[in-house]
Amino acid sequence: MNLKDKVAVVTGSTKGIGREIVMEFARRGAKVVISGRNEDRANQVCEEIKRSGGIAIPVVVDVSNLEDAQQLIDKTIEQFGQIDVVVNNAGITRDNLLMRMKETEWDEVITVNLKGTFNCIKCVTRQMMKQRSGRIINITSVVGQMGNPGQANYSASKAGIIGLTKSVARELASRNITCNAVAPGFIETDMTGVLDEKVRENLQNQIPLGRLGSVSDVARVVAFLAGDDAGYITGQVINVDGGMVMA
């Protein structure tokens, strides 16, 4: 699927799923904006894309801050003159059992995951409406659909993203702007890489396909939603979970 000359912003794209999404976009010809809070990692990803012949810029911001989110959008427009795709991937975890969860652990997760997604959508909407086109793709999670012990904050933030996705899809459809969500299940990342063998086995037993997913499994679905072939899809949640929620 060709994304040549599309301009794509991917938040939280210095590692993990976000990094693979921005790399996938670059491989398909998109001009990409790498966004995160770690300047060194953002520059590293940017240089890797450039060495492969791609076009990329890093923008170091904290999307939980509305002014930073606006700066991300403004710098993208200043550099490329348009924004075709925004992928809201930035997210954190602060896992704890509900009775032990601190107010700060709740607030931090909601602020980054949910408010950060809202901020970027709010800031890009004017440009996309002016263009009368755009793709907004929000990264949610299966735990936003089914819950997870020890992740009340994270589950709530990801469930909120689903509701936000559907509302935005309805508001912006008349301007040819789509808004969809992708819900990964258990994916091989740095976080799952530290799990011991017994925990991994228990996780895999919950997945009908019998394995954890890869970051490329998620990135390819996001790339599809960013392309022209997905122009009649909006307000949807696409699960990339090996059948986990189905089970």
Concerning whether 154 is annotated as a catalytic residue, the answer is: yes
Which phi and psi angles does 155 have, rounded to 5°?
-60, -40
The structure tokens 């950060």 sit at 116
| CB contact at 8 A, 195 and 153 | no
SS3 content of the chain, % helix, strand, coil (to 5): 50, 15, 30
Secondary structure of 43-109 in the HEC alphabet? HHHHHHHHHCCCEEEEEECCCCCHHHHHHHHHHHHHHHCCCCEEEECCCCCCCECHHHCCHHHHHHH
Which phi and psi angles does 96 have, rounded to 5°?
-170, 150
The catalytic position among 25, 80, 106, 154 is: 154
* Three-state DSSP class for residue 178: strand
Task: Give me the active site residues, please.
Answer: 154
